[in-house]
Structure 1
Amino acid sequence: MPCPCGNLLKRRSPPTIMRRRGHRSLERDETALTAVIEFLSAFALFLMILTAFLALAQLQMGSNDPAVDRLDRSAVQGLDRLTSDAGWFVPGNESAMDYQNATADWHLQSAEDLDEGRVQAGLVVDGALSMAKINAIQNLTEGDMVDGLGLDDGFSIHLTIEVITSNNSSRIGEMLFDGGTERRTAQASSTANRQFIQDGETWRIVLEVHRGGRLNNDLHITELMTRPASGGPEWIEIYNPNDFAIALRGWSLNHTSSEITSDHLFKSGVIAGKTTLLFTGDATSQAAGNASQVIDLGVHGYLGVGMFNGLADGSGVLTLRYTQIDEARPYDMFRAEWGGDTGLFMVTGQSLAWDGNTTATTSWFIEETPTPGDQ
């Protein structure tokens, strides 16, 4: 009789085979899951590399906006021209340039000559920034600088030169130059900067190039003489608080009183940055003090000398105005008033002086000892 054990063993075999098949299926699932995870990880890494590459390409190629690209190039190229060599100056005027007398010593020229000729300001001599050339930027108008750097029409700039590290702690943060159009007034801007290490210090130059923007024109009437003594001339003292020079084209003086109303529009002239200018009724007898320039308005009959009055003795208003190139209406930039309700009545030999605060009547006072040209 056959042994029943054999049948029993045969009946138990299928579950063992099923377990083996299930184990192999689980292994295949785990392998597939691992492959999926590895693929996703590799794909994520690929996306990261692609993103980094595109970002680098964006930095190298610039934005997709041609106007922004032009601003970026202008800032970089302008700074390169400013800091690559000593610069140059070609004397001349609107009709002709004197190329034979061109010179790298642009910093030795007057503000008037620089404005009439052509200049590209360069600040580097023998690989280092020249303080003499930095100081001479005050003889350049912002427009002169823009033209010299080869920037597009309608562009403006703001330039800063700062000491950022020094063995002398009192020098850290000192501004060697800070002037130009404010960024907040512009439609768009781009910035480039460069550092120079010299004489134990680090100097940083930052050039901002703007599209549009309102020029930082700001002139102050600081003192005026309406009743000169001993037959002397009337005079008006003007101060330029900006680091850049300001061309007088577009500026005008307006004087009103009960007896006199007169205007004078300036068609030429430049006042250097951080300097004082004197308008006078007679340049030959005018005490100039530290004024950088003396301009005779007596020849135009605007200011008087001796018994001739250009400005009212008793009471009057003197307004300094500016007209933007693309605008017709002048803006009142500064105002001085005397006599009437102001309580400011001058006698012979006294002047009206500004205290440096607001343009309100309370910021003016009678000066017993006038100081023309010594703002």
Structure 2
Amino acid sequence: MAGGVGAAVMAPRLPRPRGMAVPARGARMIPRREEGVTHVIEFTFALTLFLIIIQAFSTTMDFRIGVDLDSNDNRIAAARSITHELAGSSGNASGTVDWETLEWGSGSPQLSAGLTVGLLTETGVLSLAKCEALAKFTYNGLRDELGTKDGLSVEVRTLSPDARVSFWGGDVSKATVSVTEERILLLRTADGDVPAKLRVTLFSGVTPDTTLRLTEVMYQPAAGTEWVEIYNPAYVAAEVDGWKLSDLAEEDLILGGDDETLTIPARSAAIVAASPTDFASRYPSVSYVFGLEDSAIGDGLGDIADTIALGYHSYSDALAYEDDDGAAGDGNSLTRDCPTCDGWAAAAATPGAV
């Protein structure tokens, strides 16, 4: 045997499996039992953290749901209160029950002075004139009078046929949450008293858009003053404070009388005239006539060509015209095809009637 007599017998050396790490000298091997305990601890910690997060989320949701339920309860109570006010009396403004004959923020007395908004006649049925007069209120104006900061709409419909009589307020279809209160009443019409439904809705939503539009221009009248018709397409009154009219040379603020808040009722038109007095004498049936700060539309509208613009801050609605477009001193005006259309055409003047 190699190595000589008496040599030590060596144990056979077994091959080490590939990829098996060799522990450093002095390192302690962790038994499998300890590894299992470590995994259990890690899992328990992760599960505990997960449950804490779920509980926090659940608590937040419960709070949010509670807030929403409280808000809806408040809306229900407010809708009932508003319906009671509207359907509970004839209303009163500065001592008169005929508040529908007054204007918002103009004249004396005014709609905004000590107003109770009631829609009934003295015999206890809905007054068509009062229902339609809601159109004179700005969105914030009527909400303030009725004591709510929620989105609001007020609608009156006949029952047979089911047809809208009047509507005031914001767009309920875009609301995320809404509450409606209804009251069945008789509505006095020219044909007699008919069953109708008063519907008050409070909701969470945006303020209605009261962007004004140019709809008719008399740039070269055969006689009298230049004038422009502006239209409010919203279902609430639009404030005109701060709006301007301009031509290519100059811009002017739209003005009313002394101490007036300028408004155009819902779905209605107003006239801005270089001379409101002259215009009113020629068209006495037009209710809303405003003037300008220097008694001219811009620098005076050109007879041959010009551009007129209605603007508020960055918004502008403009019409560029030439005398070839018509209405050049023949008594006609340039009239928009519809309030939201782009087309214009010469036609018989119809100020105030869109």
What TM-score, normalized to structure 2?
Answer: 0.67
CA displacement at 1:197 relative to structure 2: 4.5
Unaligned runs of 5+ in 2: 1-65
Q: Distance in 1 between matches of 2:98 and 2:314?
A: 37
Q: Sequence identity of aligned pairs in percent?
A: 23
What TM-score does the superposition give when structure 1 sets the normalisation length? 0.63
Compared with structure 1, are the counterparts of its residues 200 and 236 closer, same or farther at alpha carbon in structure 2 (3 Å cutoff)?
closer
Check if 1:253 corresponds to 2:236. Answer: no
- C-alpha contact 1:223 1:372 (8 A) present in aligned 2: yes
Tell me the CA shift for residue 214 of structure 1: 2.3
Displacement of 1:216 after TM fit?
4.1
**Superposed counterparts of 1:185-264, under 5 Å:** 185-186=174-175, 188-197=177-186, 201-230=194-223, 232-250=224-242, 252-257=243-248, 260-264=249-253
Task: Find the residue that maps to 1:65 and give its secondary structure.
Answer: helix
1:217–1:115 Cα change, 3 Å: farther
Correspondence 1:85 to 2:85: no
Contact 1:82/1:121 (<8 A) preserved = yes
Q: CA RMSD in A?
A: 3.0
Q: Which runs of 5+ in 1 are unaligned?
A: 1-61, 91-101, 166-171, 323-328
- Number of the residue aligned with 1:158: 153
Match of 2:46 in 1: none
- The answer to whether the Cα contact below 8 Å between 1:82 and 1:149 also exists between their aligned partners in 2 is no
Match among 338, 341, 346 for residue 356 of structure 1:
338
Equivalent position of 1:366 in the other structure: 346
Match of 2:262 in 1: 269
Partners of 2:284 and 2:186 lie apart in 1 by: 38
**Alpha-carbon distance between aligned partners in 2 of 1:63 and 1:73, rounded to the nearest angstrom:** 16
Q: Is the 8 A contact 1:262 1:302 kept in 2?
A: no
For 2:274, the aligned partner's letter is G
Give the number of the structure whose residues are more often helix, by fraction. Answer: 1
Aligned: 1:295 with 2:286? no
With over 3 angstroms needed to count, the CA separation of the structure-2 counterparts of 1:201 and 1:285, relative to structure 1, is closer
SS for the counterpart of 1:316 is strand
Displacement of 1:64? 6.1
**CA distance in structure 2 between the partners assigned to 1:249 and 1:136 by the alignment:** 21
Checking the alignment, whether the CA contact within 8 Å between 1:276 and 1:292 is kept in structure 2 is no
1:331 alignment counterpart: 315
The residue number in structure 1 matching 2:115 is 119
How many pairs are equivalent? 274
Given the alignment, which residue of 121, 124, 129 partners 2:126? Answer: 129
**Alignment partners' CA distance in 2, 1:241 and 1:224:** 18
Deviation of residue 183 (structure 1)? 1.9
In structure 2, do the counterparts of structure 1 residues 160 and 374 end up closer, same or farther at CA, with 3 Å as the change threshold? closer
Aligned residue identity for 2:153: H
Task: Confirm whether residue 181 of structure 1 aligns to residue 170 of structure 2.
Answer: yes
Q: C-alpha offsets along residues 147-168 of structure 1, whole Å, 9 cap, x if unaligned?
A: 121113xx23111100013xxx
| Equivalent position SS for 1:122 | coil
Other-structure match for 2:25: none
Given that 2:233 and 2:339 are in contact with CA atoms closer than 8 Å, whether structure 1 keeps it comes out as no
Structure 2 residue identity aligned to 1:315: A
Distance 1:346 1:135, change over 3 A: closer
Q: Is the 8 A contact 2:83 2:181 kept in 1?
A: yes
Contact persistence 2:210–2:236 (CA under 8 A): no
Aligned counterpart for 1:347 among listed residues 314, 317, 328: 328
How much has 1:337 moved relative to structure 2? 2.6
Could you say if the C-alpha distance between residues 79 and 271 of structure 1 is closer, same or farther in structure 2, counting changes exceeding 3 Å?
Answer: same
Query: Per the alignment, do residues 262 and 185 of structure 1 end up closer, same or farther by CA in structure 2, a change over 3 Å counting?
Result: farther
Q: In the alignment, which residue of structure 2 is the partner of 1:72?
A: 76
* One-letter amino acid of the structure 2 residue matched with residue 313 of structure 1: D
Shift of 1:122: 0.5
Letter in 2 for 1:138: A
Does the Cα contact within 8 Å between 1:338 and 1:345 map onto a contact in 2? no
1:122-170 alpha-carbon deviations (Å, 9 max, x no partner) = 0123332222322322333333321121113xx23111100013xxxxx
2:308 corresponds in structure 1 to 318
